[in-house]
Amino acid sequence: MQFNKKNYLKKIILLLFILTCLSFKDEKDFLHKRKFNIQLTEVKDDIPAKKSIMDYIKFKNGKLHSSYLKKKFRYKWINYRINKDSVYIDSTDTEVRLLVVESTFTDNLNQTLMMNFNILEWDIDGSLKIVGNNDKIKKYFDLTGREKGGKPKKQKKPKISNKEGAVK
């Protein structure tokens, strides 16, 4: 068998090219595949409505989807941008992640949807407004909610029953 330098060099170059392509694989943001159950409370003239609307928001590949927005306004997937992503230690010495997110979308009727919300670990809080073509606010909602699955539950301490020390 004869050692072929050209063939060997081609294989090395191909291998390096494949490894380079794999190293630049797109990383997903922190919200990718997260789902939140939220409540939308409509606000008119600075007075919140008595009833809230239950909704569901999911994030995927830099876009968010709301079942209420799709059903009511026909907004399917809306691009969002993370303006701030910070991790800090709170007063209980626990790492907490804060995300400040904004999303805007203009439809073919020249209505603009603007969402601004903060995500603090598994809680979401913010506002959603729909502005008409003359910069008049058509709808304004406050949104609050929690990630589906939510905060991990604390384990309960087992009850200790002391029958021997019970008073008769």
pLDDT in tens, 94-150: 889 999 999 999 888 888 999 999 999 889 999 999 998 888 889 999 999 999 876
The CA-based diameter of the chain, rounded to the nearest angstrom, is 97
What confidence tens digit (pLDDT) does each residue in 43-65 have? 988 888 889 999 999 999 889 99
Q: What's the CA angle centered on 122, arms 118 and 124, to 5 degrees?
A: 30
Q: What is the pLDDT of residue 2?
A: 56
In a domain, 100, yes or no: yes
Residue 1 has pLDDT above 50, yes or no: no
pTM to 2 decimal places: 0.68
Summarize the confidence of residues 159-165 as an average pLDDT: 59
CATH number at residue 112: 2.40.128
In a domain, 117, yes or no: yes
Domains identified in the chain, total number: 1
- What are φ and ψ of residue 89, in 5° steps? -105, 125
In a domain, 93, yes or no: yes
Cβ count near 155 (within 10 Å): 6
- How far apart (Å, rounded) are the C-alpha atoms in residues 66 and 79? 12
The DSSP string of 63-127 is EEEEHHHHHHH----EE-EEEEEEEEE-TTS-EEEEEEEEEEEE-TTS-EEEEEEEEETTEEEEE
In a domain, 98, yes or no: yes
In a domain, 110, yes or no: yes
What confidence tens digit (pLDDT) does each residue in 19-33 have? 665 565 556 678 888
Closest C-alpha among 151, 149, 154, 153 to residue 36: 149
Q: What is the pLDDT of residue 21?
A: 59
Summarize the confidence of residues 77-86 as an average pLDDT: 92
Strands 35-44 and 47-48: antiparallel
Q: What is the pLDDT of residue 156?
A: 57
Residue 154 has pLDDT above 80, yes or no: no
In a domain, 41, yes or no: yes
Q: Residue 93: give the domain boundaries.
A: 35-147
In a domain, 21, yes or no: no
What confidence tens digit (pLDDT) does each residue in 119-128 have? 998 899 999 9
In a domain, 2, yes or no: no
